[in-house]
Structure 1
Amino acid sequence: MSMTNSDAILARLMQLHPKVIDLSLDRMERILAALGNPERRIPPVIHVAGTNGKGSTQAMIRAGLEAAGKKVHAYTSPHLAHFHERIRLAGELISEPDLAATLEECETANGGEPITYFEITTAAAFLAFSRIEADYTLLEVGLGGRLDATNVVDQPVLTVITPVSIDHTQFLGETLTEIAGEKAGIIKRGVPCIVAPQEPEGREVIEARAEALAAPLRIARQDWDSYSEHGRLVYFDERGLLDLPLPNLPGPHQIINAGTAIAALRELGYANTEAEAAVTRAEWPARMQRLARGPLVEAAGDCELWLDGGHNPAGGEAVAATLASMPGRPTHLICGMLNTKDVEGYMRPLAQHVRSLIAVPIPGAEATLPAEATECAAMNCGIAATTAPDTLDAVRRISLEEPGARILICGSLYLAGEVLRDNG
């Protein structure tokens, strides 16, 4: 595949990365000022933070708003196959010419100063959003919340905090209390906040932050709830009960994400039609996605081939719960992970649901964990494991050894992106 103009610009922007990452908004505020503060001119913002479920929840909120006829900008990260996935303008992915032009404008405004890749591309998103009319802007936090590059918006119309768990400890803190404090940094004075189910210590921090800022909270299990019953999704709050289809995004954890999205839509004044659209029309790749075409699918033969980008212990628990809810079938994992992750914490919940694991490196990822280390972690968790040089080799091996099995490629969004480039 030839390099596009935006690819070349993004490669240059990577070279501006500071030698040491210090979480700060200083660089972001500097470049936005040079650009004329586009973040002050974007449509009303719904700001989403959390450890797991941000992307799925945001996709459901967008589906609900678009069902109401609203035009919605959306910013997500990381991308899977192409950078353009990060920036959606009034419902459409940003075009290559617009992306290249916007990135170049930000590069010029930055003047060669040190800045992180996420910061300068977030500035580009704000610039693009400020130039296209829309009814809402959905912003997904990249890392943490308090000092995240997206947290320069002073007055969102709504904030959302999905479940908080341990991840990115090198930046956000070692404890759930510290991490929840960073996520709660998106709460703004007087702005309502939807809170998904939380561990007690995380919820306590979020509640304290909201109280200090007089921000109304809508808390799961207290002000609203969602659960599955008789093959349906049940949602209720003080406004009443909704009986809805199960989410089209697979997995029991999507019940929580759907409830969070519905609570957000209800807070914004939307009703049953939008709630149903949120759970039935959302699309979010690499979240227990069944692959249907491409060379890997052809190599899988009679095997089911699935893909999931979860990569932390909570993600492992979500995948395990999904596997437990699926029809019985021998399941084998193909797993590649980064060396910054809690590998055994991710794998431990999966051990009782799978027969084996083949560890692979992640192509092009500097922080890829060697396949041998992933193999060792799996065996420490009681999973029979081996290695393969790449995903295709692993798929072929499983399909020959156990035709008709379920194969799940998992462990990293970077690996998922590699898979989707040719098998999306």
Structure 2
Amino acid sequence: MKDFATSSDPAVQATLDRLARLSLPQGRLGLDTIRTLLARLGDPQKRLPPTFHVAGTNGKGSTCAYLRTMLEAGGLTVHTATKPHLVRYNERIRIAGSLISDTELAERLRTVLDAGADLAPSFFEVTTAATFLAFAEHPADACVIEVGLGGRFDATNVLEAPAACGIASLGIDHEAFLLAPEDGTPCEPLARIAFEKAGIVRPGRPLVTQSYPEGAELEIERAAMAAGAPLHMRERDWTAHIGTQIEYEDRHGRVALPLPALPGRHQADNAALAVAMLRHQDFVTVDIGAMIDGVRSARWPARLQRLAGGPLTANAPGRAVWLDGGHNADAGAAIAQHFTDPVHLIVGMLANKNPRAIADPLDRRMASLSVVPVPGSESHPAGAFGPDARAFTDVGAALRAIPDDGLPILIAGSLYLAGEVLRANVEVPD
């Protein structure tokens, strides 16, 4: 139920209630339903400006944030579709730089729900169609669209001719869906993940990627070759060395970029992918100055975000309290690179996730481990995290129990938990 959210606007809540009654029919995969639904709406996905389509396990949302800020720094008007939301559903749809209004959100969702009432569409098909419909009704110079789950069967994968497709870092996540047995697909897990993500490739349109282990790279190469798409892979067609700045290089030359304001080395990698996507397409022009400004100005909530003073952080006055929505092993490794000194970890993880994904990379640096439930979702109990984990009813109680030793505090394990934290601390994304 967390995906569907609540709203103080009655019209929005009415449509969210209708969305909450939708689910993916058992065993139905494919794009036929979303294509039929979009056709009834006049195929709004065919009326979008040049579009950047981004898939990946981790980092795709941040890559979208960098693309948006770089394009906007270049004076362009940009629509952006990302997921999931943290506090308000409106966060998923940004029209010309601003979150969609409650009035338009309710109207677009209602239109799509009415048009597809007999199709039994899924939540994701309805919301994707509503996003494309909203984008098509407003002029813009570019769109940035984040893939939801996988790529091959994601509802956004009806885009026919994006300006560029990108694949961020790969890792094992959503195993029940992405690793489900299927004839003709790779058996090795990461290669299968790559196969699913590379499903967004389009004939003649550039596919820009990070570098991966050999099996995953081979799957991406096969997909690009089969589609006749130019492939631009890191360490082959472009490089980015991360030090005191980002030293980027491709066939067009070298570029020196500042490190992002967003903390973590992985954010420099995400920014470099956004730069590579812009430099390997021919539909919009973004100069180096705009790329530099975009790297500096990008913000992405709940990704190693230091919380401000607020009602929740008042439970640990004077402390540095960090928030990250990471919930898999690769996210845990990225977080661990940021915290080199001891840290108190407050974690809440959904029951279908590996409970040690965040804790294990931080193991030698954890001053304490507190476990909280994820409100509204089935989550792991403290016992799943080992004998040293302590259970608390909520994040506020966990914060109050942390020793007054001056060490930083990290709240992590779930984007759903992150949304509750931001709501409680009155830091609603805008």
Amino acid at match of 2:332: G
Deviation at 1:163?
A: 1.1
Q: Distance in 2 between matches of 1:52 and 1:344?
A: 17
Q: Distance in 2 between matches of 1:346 and 1:407?
A: 14
Please give the per-residue CA displacement for 1:338-366, whole angstroms capped at 9, x wherever unaligned. 1121222343212122122111111122x
SS of match in other structure, 2:158: coil
1:297 is aligned to 313
TM-score by length of 2: 0.92
Match of 2:325 among 271, 293, 309: 309
Amino acid at match of 2:370: I
Amino acid at match of 1:279: V
Match of 2:348 among 327, 336, 339: 336
1:254 is aligned to 267
Q: Summarize the alignment of residues 3-402 of structure 1 with structure 2, pairs less than 5 Å apart.
A: 3-4=8-9, 5-20=11-26, 22-173=28-179, 175-229=189-243, 231-268=244-281, 269-324=285-340, 328=341, 330-365=342-377, 368-370=378-380, 372=381, 375-379=382-386, 384-398=388-402, 401-402=403-404
Deviation at 1:254?
A: 1.1
Please give the per-residue CA displacement for 1:280-305, whole angstroms capped at 9, x wherever unaligned. 01110000000003211111112111
Deviating above 4 A after TM superposition, structure 1's stretches of 4 or more consecutive aligned residues are: none
Deviation at 1:74?
A: 0.6
1:64 and 1:265 in contact (8 A); partners too: no
2:24 and 2:123 in contact (8 A); partners too: no
- Structure 1: gaps spanning 5 or more residues: none
Identify if the C-alpha distance between structure 1 residues 21 and 363 changes in structure 2 by more than 3 Å, giving closer, same or farther: farther
2:7 and 2:13 in contact (8 A); partners too: no
Segment of structure 1 superposing worse, 16-25 or 347-356? 16-25
SS of match in other structure, 2:325: coil
Deviation at 1:378?
A: 2.5
Deviation at 1:112?
A: 4.9
Q: Distance in 2 between matches of 1:362 and 1:14?
A: 19
Segment of structure 1 superposing worse, 115-124 or 3-12? 3-12
Q: Percent of pairs identical after alignment?
A: 45
1:291 and 1:305 in contact (8 A); partners too: yes
Deviation at 1:2?
A: 6.6
1:302 and 1:403 in contact (8 A); partners too: no
Amino acid at match of 2:401: R
Q: Distance in 2 between matches of 1:315 and 1:2?
A: 30
1:227 and 1:255 in contact (8 A); partners too: no
Please give the per-residue CA displacement for 1:85-134, whole angstroms capped at 9, x wherever unaligned. 00011111101111111111111111254222111011100100010000
TM-score by length of 1: 0.93
Identify if the C-alpha distance between structure 1 residues 360 and 127 changes in structure 2 by more than 3 Å, giving closer, same or farther: same
2:206 and 2:229 in contact (8 A); partners too: yes
Amino acid at match of 1:288: L
Please give the per-residue CA displacement for 1:293-328, whole angstroms capped at 9, x wherever unaligned. 32111111121111000111111111111112xxx4
SS of match in other structure, 2:221: helix
Deviation at 1:21?
A: 5.7
Q: 1:419 and 2:424 equivalent?
A: no
SS of match in other structure, 2:264: coil
Identify if the C-alpha distance between structure 1 residues 2 and 170 changes in structure 2 by more than 3 Å, giving closer, same or farther: closer
Identify if the C-alpha distance between structure 1 residues 2 and 62 changes in structure 2 by more than 3 Å, giving closer, same or farther: closer
2:258 and 2:292 in contact (8 A); partners too: yes
2:202 and 2:227 in contact (8 A); partners too: yes
Q: Distance in 2 between matches of 1:411 and 1:275?
A: 31
Identify if the C-alpha distance between structure 1 residues 40 and 317 changes in structure 2 by more than 3 Å, giving closer, same or farther: same
SS of match in other structure, 1:283: coil
Q: Distance in 2 between matches of 1:7 and 1:196?
A: 40
1:265 and 1:271 in contact (8 A); partners too: no
1:262 and 1:278 in contact (8 A); partners too: no
Deviation at 1:36?
A: 1.5
Deviation at 1:39?
A: 1.0
SS of match in other structure, 2:330: helix
Deviation at 1:19?
A: 4.7
Amino acid at match of 1:71: T
Q: Distance in 1 between matches of 2:349 and 2:7?
A: 27
Deviation at 1:18?
A: 3.7
Q: Which has the larger helix fraction?
A: 1
Q: Distance in 2 between matches of 1:140 and 1:21?
A: 24
SS of match in other structure, 1:142: coil
2:74 and 2:287 in contact (8 A); partners too: no
Q: Distance in 2 between matches of 1:36 and 1:72?
A: 22
Identify if the C-alpha distance between structure 1 residues 291 and 360 changes in structure 2 by more than 3 Å, giving closer, same or farther: same
